[in-house]
Each structure stands twice: as structure tokens, then as C-alpha cells.
Structure 1
Amino acid sequence: MTFQSQTAIVTGAGIGIGFAIARQLARQGASVLLNDLDEEVAQLAADRIRQEGGRCLAFAGDVSDVAFIQKMVDKAVAEFGKLTIVVANAGITIFGDFFDYQPEAFQKVVDLNLRGSFFLTQLAARHMREQNEGGSILLMSSVTGHQAHPGLAAYSMTKAALEMLAKNLVLDLSPYGININAVAPGATQTERTLDDPTYVRIWSRITPMGRPATVEDISNAALFLVAPQSRHITGQSLVVDGGWTAVSPPPV
């Protein structure tokens, strides 16, 4: 696969899965606008990609803010000339007991995971429609959108909704040559999960493949779905979880 002449926005890409996706896209020739809420983290990530020879621009901000999303799309087009790939990776996880879950936490999860992804897709697709060259959009779901997980009722709801959004938008986007899919990662080793000394041990025990995913496992799937060669794949959700959803034991 090659991404020469492709231009991409990847949100929530300062670290973890988002960074791995942005890095691989840049390594394979794409020009990447890398978003993160934290300006310093975004800049450090973009610097690292540029040091490896990639073309990458940091653009920090809150992608639950529709006005910011428009600025981000405009910046990508102004900098790179067009927009052909969008990866809506930014999201937030807030655990909580259902009976005590607070409205403030619920709103944060819905605003970023759903509102942000929906309007990033809308504003990017508008520009792709005007370009008349097609494009690829990828939403970041989760295995919790498929199987119940303790303490994640609100988060799981948003992830299942994103997969339905990908399916529904086939109707709207296909006439313009734009495909849209979702990736649903399972347990994945990132900078955040490595803070938990029990994470790898527990998920290695309950994952049929014997380990949690790496960020490269997820980014490999993401690049497959946004590659120009995969444009006929649309409205699908690809689970990358080492087989966990086939058996679904809870992480206890």
C-alpha cells in the first residue's frame, strides 16, 4: 500500500493508537495533520514524524468543538492542497457505576466520542464532495461496542453508535466515492495502559491470542481500511482484539 499524494487528518494522535496511525501514514507517503488536545504533545509527536522523514503538521485543539473542527479541515486543505483521509480517533473513556454516573461525565463522553466524530465526518465529507476525488473516513470504535464491559455503559453506547453511523453514512457518502468504516480495538498496550502493572498480565490471560494488541496491530488495520485500494469496502466494522469478543471474559 502507498499513500503518496494522499492527505490525512488524524485526531487524538499525540500518543497511542492515533500516533501510530499518523506515523504509518506519513511513513508511506501521506501528508498528515496531527491533532491532539495538548499542544505540547501534538508538537512533539509531529516533530518525531518529521524527524523520520514524514510530512506532518501539528494542530492542537478540542475536536468536540465544531468551530475548531472547521478550522482544522480548512488548515489541512490550505497546507496540503486537499483532504482525502480522515481518522476520527479522538475519544474519552470515563468509567463509572451506572447507578451513580454523573451527567457531567456523560456529557463529556458524548461530546467528544459522538459529537466530535459526527461533525468531523460531516465537515470533511463536505470538502471531499467538493473535490470530487473521493476519500476515506475511519471512525474509532471499540470492542465495548460489541460486548458488555463493567463500568462503561456510556462509553460503550457511544462506540456502538459510531459503528451504526459508519453503516448509515454509506447512503450519503457512496455517491461521491467516499468510503467510511470503523475499527474496533480490543485491549491495547499504550502509554496509558502501561501505567497499570496488571494490564498486560490480565489481558494476556483472557485474550485467545495470548496478549493484548500493540498500537501497530490497530494501525495496520486502520491503514488497510483507508488505503485507496480499499475504497470498495464501506459501512463495515473491523474488530481487532486477538479473539476476545469470541469469548468475552471480563478483566478480573
Structure 2
Amino acid sequence: MDFKHKTAIVTGAGSGIGFEMCRQLAHHGATVFLNDVDAALCREAAGKISAEYGHCFPVPGDSGHEGFVNELVKAAVEQTGRLDIAIANAGITLFGEFLSYPAESLFRVLQLNIGGTFFLAQAAARQMIGQGSGGALLFTSSVTGHQAHKNLAAYSMTKAALEMLAKNLVAEVSGFGIRVNTVAPGATLTERTTTEPDYEAVWSRITPMGRPASVQDIAHAALFLVSDQARHITGQSLVVDGGWTATSPSPY
């Protein structure tokens, strides 16, 4: 996959899946604008990728806010003159029982997971339409948008919503050459999940392929969806879960 002369934005990319998406994009020639709400982590992550491949710039800030998202797109375009790929990867998981789930937690999840994705897609699409050269939008969904998972009612709801947003935008932006898809990771080994006791052992046992995903597994799927090889794929969700949603055994 060749991303030379292409500009990409990835939100929530200071670590984990988002970081690997940025790393792979840069490896294949893209100029990448890496966003994370943690300013120090954002700069450190971009620095690592720049040292390895070059062309990765940190843009710290909260991608759950429309004003910042607009500035993020503006920053990318000011430096490179264009925007070709926008990946809305930022999201927050706040576990809690449905019957006692607090309003504050619900609105935080909605603002970032849905609001941040919606407004990044909107700002990116406007820029792509202005360029007249099309582009690719990608949202990070989850297997929990397909299968019920205890204590994740709010999070799961937002992930299912992102997949519907991608489908709906097909009717809005296809005429401008813009594709919109989602990637839905299953259990994945990241800096966060590897700190959970028995995470890898449990998900290795209940995943048909015998292990949870690596961040590379998810990033490779994401890069395909935003690449020219997927130029006739839009409005789709690609589940990357080692077969878990086919059988769906509970980790509890």
C-alpha cells in the first residue's frame, strides 16, 4: 500500500491501536498528524514515529470538541495543502451497570465517541470536497457494537451508532469521491489491556483463533480500508476479532 503524497489525521493516537495506525501510515509514506488529549504523550508518540519514518506531527487536544477538530484539520492543511485520510479513533470506555450509570459518564462517552467522530468526519469531508480529489474516512467501532457486553451499555451504543453513521454518510458524500468505513476491533493487546489480570489468557481461551488481536492486526485492516485498494468499498464495517463474534462466549 502506497500512501506517498497523502496526508492523514488520526485521533486518539498516543498509544495502542491509534499509534500503530499512525506508524503504519508513516511507514508507507503518508504525512501523519497524530492527535491525543495527553499533550506529553502526543508529542512523545509523534517523536517516535518521526525518528523511525519521518513526517509525523503532534497535534494535542480534545477531539471531542468541534472547535478543536476544526483546528486539527486546519493545521494539517496549512502544512501540507491537503487532507486525504481522516481516522476517528479517539474514544473512551467507562464501564458501569446500566441501572446505576451516571449521567456524567454517559455524556462524556457520547461527546467523544459520537460527537468527536461526527465533527471530524464533517470537517474532513468539507476539506476533501473543497480539494475536489475525494478521500477516505474511517471510524473505530468495536465488536461491542455487534454483541452485548456486560457493563458497556453506553459504550456499545456509541459504537453501533458509528457504524450507522458510516452507512448514512454514503448517501451524503459518495458523489464527492469520499469513502466512509469502520473497523471493529475485538479484544486487543494494548498498553491498557495488558495491565488487566488474565486479559490475554481469558481472551486467548474464548477467541476461536486462539489469541486476542495485536495492534498490528487492527492497523493493517484500517490501512486497507483507507487505501486505494479499497476504492470501491464504502459504508462497511470490518470486524477484526479472531472469530469471537461468531461464537460470542462471555469473558465473565
Q: What's the TM-score bracket when you normalise by the shorter of the two chains?
A: over 0.9
Shift of 1:120: 0.5
| Aligned mates of 1:144, 1:57 — CA distance in 2 | 31
SS of match in other structure, 1:203: helix
Residue 162 of structure 2 aligns to a residue whose secondary structure is helix
Q: Paired residue for 2:236?
A: 236
Corresponding position of 1:29? 29
Q: What is the TM-score of this pair, normalised by structure 2?
A: 0.99
Deviating beyond 2 angstroms after TM superposition, the runs of 4 or more aligned structure 1 residues are none
The 3-state SS of whatever aligns with 2:126 is helix
SS at 1:169 equivalent: helix
**How far did residue 230 of structure 1 move?**
1.3
Long gaps (5+) in structure 1: none
Aligned partners of 1:233, 1:39: CA distance in 2, in Å? 34
- Post-superposition offset of 1:79: 1.0
Q: What does residue 223 of structure 1 align with? A: 223
SS in 2 for 1:183: strand
Deviations 1:125-169 (A, max 9, x none): 000000000100000000000000000000000000000000010
Distance in 1, Cα, partners of 2:177 & 2:13 = 26
> Deviation at 1:53?
2.3
SS in 1 for 2:74: helix
Equivalent position of 1:176 in the other structure: 176
Paired amino acid for 1:179: R
Whether the 8 Å CA contact 1:125–1:173 is kept in 2: the answer is: yes
User: Which amino acid counterpart does residue 147 of structure 2 have in structure 1?
Assistant: Q
Give the letter aligned to residue 5 of structure 2.
Answer: S
- Structure 2: which 5+ residue stretches go unaligned? none
Shift of 1:73: 0.3
Matches within 5 A, 1:8-27: 8-27=8-27
SS, match of residue 50 in structure 1 = helix
The total of aligned residue pairs comes to: 252
SS at match of 2:183: strand
Secondary structure in 1 matching 2:197: coil
Residue 64 of structure 1: aligned partner? 64
Q: 1:170-209 residue pairs with structure 2 within 5 A?
A: 170-209=170-209
Superposition RMSD in Å: 0.5
| 1:146 aligned partner | 146
With the length of structure 1 as denominator, give the TM-score of the two structures.
0.99
Deviation at 1:80, TM superposition (A): 1.4
**2:182 corresponds to which letter in structure 1?**
A
Which secondary structure state, in structure 1, belongs to the residue aligned with residue 149 of structure 2? coil
Give the superposition deviation at 1:229: 2.4
Deviations 1:7-42 (A, max 9, x none): 000000000000000000000000000000001000
Deviation string for 1:157-185 (max 9, x for gaps)? Answer: 00000000000100111000000000000
- Deviation of 1:81 after TM superposition, in Å, equals 1.3
Aligned counterparts of 1:231 and 1:37: Cα–Cα separation in 2: 31
Partner-residue secondary structure (3-state), 2:69: helix
Deviations 1:51-101 (A, max 9, x none): 102211000000111000010000000011100000000000000000000
The question of whether the paired residues in 2 share the 8 Å contact of 1:178 and 1:231 is answered with no
